[in-house]
Copies of this chain bind each other. A is one copy, B any other.
Amino acid sequence: MVLSGVLVAIACVQHLHDTQTHLPFAIEVIGFADEEGVRYQSTYLGSKALAGTFNEEDLKRTDAKGIPMADAIRGFGGDLEAIANARLDPKRLLGYAEVHIEQGPVLEEKNLAVGVVTAIAGQSRMKVTFTGRAGHAGTTPMNMRRDALCAAAEFLLDAELLAKNQDGLVATVGEITALPGASNVIAGEVRLSLDLRHADDRVRQAAVAELENRAAAVAAERNVSLQWQHVHQSAAVTCDPQLSAMLSDAVKRRQQEVVSLPSGAGHDAAAMAAITPVTMLFVRCKGGISHHPDESAALEDVRVAIEVMNEFINLLVGAGSP
């Protein structure tokens, strides 16, 4: 999905070339590395370097195979010394615009090619561990068990229920490991990931607190212990009202309705917002599916995105910026 966003930007520059348009400001096209952060549980690696918010401590983080991030970057041909120098000077920036597939179902439901992002949801990622007691699956009576997997199951259904009852909140347990992990042994320890997101930080933080309480209550009821570890947290980021109004104008010229919607996913725009105003355009995607082989956006919709961004550049020029 990052790919189509980068290609739209390149197409816009191509259009400027083709029409021999000279702008009063420079355009830079950026393809950021490792926005997702799955390998090191650390997001926005590339954009944080440009925003000057890259944490050098993160270089020591290790992946599942024990490889430190520093080694992974070097192995990829990267230069660790260059990270500190990558920071952009905020005074020289007009703003940051990003095009991304929606990764959700809203635009498809409304039958619209593109939409304007209002805010990027804040995220909390936790590692939750329930520790009970392993035991023989055949000989330990049900009432004497301290089954860590049953505790985890109860907790993750609580997280689902809480999110279902809170508008705009999403809660996901995507990783789970039961130890020792044999069919004839009661799980003595279960580790799971918990991902919570909302466009309003207070709502998200209240949900984190509520679920930590729930996890503690489940653990206490089942006589298992709980470890609750905050892995990652990012505040919600609001898109710049002026840039977004201009982007909405550009959309209006291509499509009857302008839909503004929050982004449940994190984006490099969230990191770039630390040093410059940001705006984002969403492109409809098939079935709202992403992070999956079925992820897909229609060529026609990408064409609309290119035209909207061309128009956005025109409006920027017309507004006399900078």
Given A150-B156, A264-B136: A144 and B183 interface contact (C-beta under 8 Å): no
Cα separation A169 to B140 with both chains bound (whole Å)? 10
Specify which chain B residues have a CB less than 8 angstroms from the CB of A164 in the assembled complex.
Answer: 142-143
Q: How large, as a class, is the contact surface on chain A?
A: 35 or more
Of the listed stretches A79-87, A98-106, A240-248, A273-281, name the one at the interface; the rest are far from the partner chain: A98-106
Closest B residue, CB atoms, query A183: B193
How far, in Å, is A246 (CB) from chain B's closest CB? Answer: 25
- The answer to whether B138 touches A288, judged by C-beta atoms less than 8 angstroms apart, is no
Asked if A123 lies at the interface with its beta carbon under 8 angstroms from chain B, I say yes
Specify which chain B residues have a CB less than 8 angstroms from the CB of A237 in the assembled complex.
Answer: none
Cα separation A263 to B147 with both chains bound (whole Å)? 20
Cα separation A172 to B195 with both chains bound (whole Å)? 27
- The answer to whether B170 touches A291, judged by C-beta atoms less than 8 angstroms apart, is no
Asked if A58 lies at the interface with its beta carbon under 8 angstroms from chain B, I say no
> Which chain A residues in 112-166 approach chain B with CB under 8 Å?
121, 123, 125, 133-144, 147, 149-150, 152-154, 156-157, 160, 163-164
Closest B residue, CB atoms, query A137: B172
- The answer to whether A195 touches B137, judged by C-beta atoms less than 8 angstroms apart, is yes
Cα separation A292 to B185 with both chains bound (whole Å)? 9
One digit per residue, 1 when the CB lies within 8 angstroms of any chain B CB and 0 when it does not, for chain A 188-217 equals 100001010100000000000000000000
Cα separation A272 to B125 with both chains bound (whole Å)? 53
How far, in Å, is A142 (CB) from chain B's closest CB? Answer: 5
- The answer to whether B102 touches A170, judged by C-beta atoms less than 8 angstroms apart, is no
Q: Which of A139, A140, A186, A195 has the most CB of B within 10 A?
A: A139
Cα separation A154 to B181 with both chains bound (whole Å)? 19
- The answer to whether A139 touches B181, judged by C-beta atoms less than 8 angstroms apart, is no
- The answer to whether A139 touches B38, judged by C-beta atoms less than 8 angstroms apart, is no
Asked if A62 lies at the interface with its beta carbon under 8 angstroms from chain B, I say no
Cα separation A195 to B163 with both chains bound (whole Å)? 32
Asked if A24 lies at the interface with its beta carbon under 8 angstroms from chain B, I say no
Cα separation A306 to B15 with both chains bound (whole Å)? 91
Asked if A173 lies at the interface with its beta carbon under 8 angstroms from chain B, I say yes
- The answer to whether B170 touches A174, judged by C-beta atoms less than 8 angstroms apart, is no
Cα separation A176 to B195 with both chains bound (whole Å)? 19
Asked if A182 lies at the interface with its beta carbon under 8 angstroms from chain B, I say yes
- Contact pick for A134, options B36, B173, B266, B291, CB 8 Å: B291
Given contacts A137-B195, A154-B157, 18 further A-B contacts (CB under 8 A): A38-B184, A41-B183, A104-B136, A135-B290, A138-B197, A138-B265, A139-B265, A140-B288, A141-B170, A149-B176, A153-B156, A157-B157, A174-B183, A174-B186, A174-B187, A176-B178, A183-B193, A185-B291
